[in-house]
Amino acid sequence: MKEAIRKRAEELGFDICRFTTAAAPANAGSLRRWLEQGQNGEMAYLARNAAKRSDPQLILPGAESVICVAANYFTPESQCNPRPPENVRGVIARYARSDDYHTVLGTQLKALADFLDQLVSGARSLWYVDTGPILERDIAQRAGVGFIGKHTNVISRKFGNWLLLGEILTTIKLAPDTQETNRCGACTRCIEACPTRAITAPFQLDARLCISYLTIELKGAIPFELRPLIGNRIFGCDDCLAVCPWNRFAHAGRFLKTFARGDLETPDLINLLGLDEIGFRTCFRNTPILRAKRRGLLRNVCVALGNVGDKAALPALLNASRDPEPLIAEHANWAINEIETRNSTP
């Protein structure tokens, strides 16, 4: 049965399909301590669902197994970052340079869950793509998908750390695969690469400092002291992932290739700043960037221009400083001040 499921997963486009039990994750206690320290920031949903994250039985009573799948989304750097032409450009995390992976993977994972329920009469299955109360990285490590690196992301010995994860909880009892062991060794490249020092220690991430959190999850103003460290990143950050030595085994992924958005590789920051609500929704339709909303993305664009922009960006920023959305206006004024200060310095 496992081989039939693996074969179907491969047909659906997944690069890895592994199995584990529906037992509670070993790191449930670490999650509780992390939440108690407030390192989840504004992500209150993590605390609300903490009990379910610690016990899959609270999600699907009678669950016996978890099927863990992964899709490699690596794109060679030469394709991701072509030489920027005119104006200043922003950087978007690689996973977001295509149609929303929640939808793309979700469609395929639902098909795999339906296949499961057809295999065994009366079976029940629930699938999630980064949307359910599951400690997916802990479970993926237990299933042998990869090991959790010091940057807290899953690393595959075959694909590196460019992985999108999905899970199916099922009442079907399947023999578990062998758990992966950590293979980071003495390497600390990811810790050293983090611009904001969000990786406070090996395997420990303070989300409140992470650029991915600051540019996506945070709904309010970005702290002043962190703005210069964001550089020209406007949605997410790949720095800790990009330096992992296990990426030497990575090759171009096939899953999101069909859904790639070339216009999101190095977007023009000044053009983005001119988007109204309709323009924003049109430009980023069906992409993960919609999650940031216009106010969040243009806030990020203002910070990026404040860090890397020149006088040519001032007219657009001046216009943004009059935006009816206070969050955009405040960050635009900050960016104007940063550019003027740079240009007035001998």
Catalytic residue among 55, 99, 117, 130: 130
DSSP state of 287: S
The mean pLDDT of 185-191, rounded to a whole number, is 98
Mean pLDDT (the chain) is 92
What is the tens place of the pLDDT at every residue in 41-95? Answer: 999 888 888 888 888 999 999 999 999 999 999 887 544 444 444 568 999 999 9
Q: Is 177 a catalytic residue?
A: no
Measured CA to CA, the distance from residue 86 to residue 186 in angstroms comes to 42
Contact between 202 and 149 (Cβ < 8 Å): no
Which has the minimum average pLDDT: 22-26, 173-177, 259-263, 325-329? 259-263
Structure pTM? 0.92
The mean pLDDT value for 265-281 works out to: 95
Q: Are strands 163-170 and 65-72 parallel, antiparallel or unpaired?
A: antiparallel
Each residue of 82-141: pLDDT tens digit?
Answer: 444 456 899 999 999 999 999 999 999 999 999 998 998 889 999 999 888 889 999 999
Give mean pLDDT, residues 224-237: 97
> DSSP for 229-285?
GGTTEEE---HHHHT-GGGGG----STTGGGB-GGGSS-BHHHHHT--HHHHHHHTT
From 68, 133, 91, select the one nearest 232 (Cα to Cα): 91
Given a cut of 90, is residue 246 above it in pLDDT?
yes
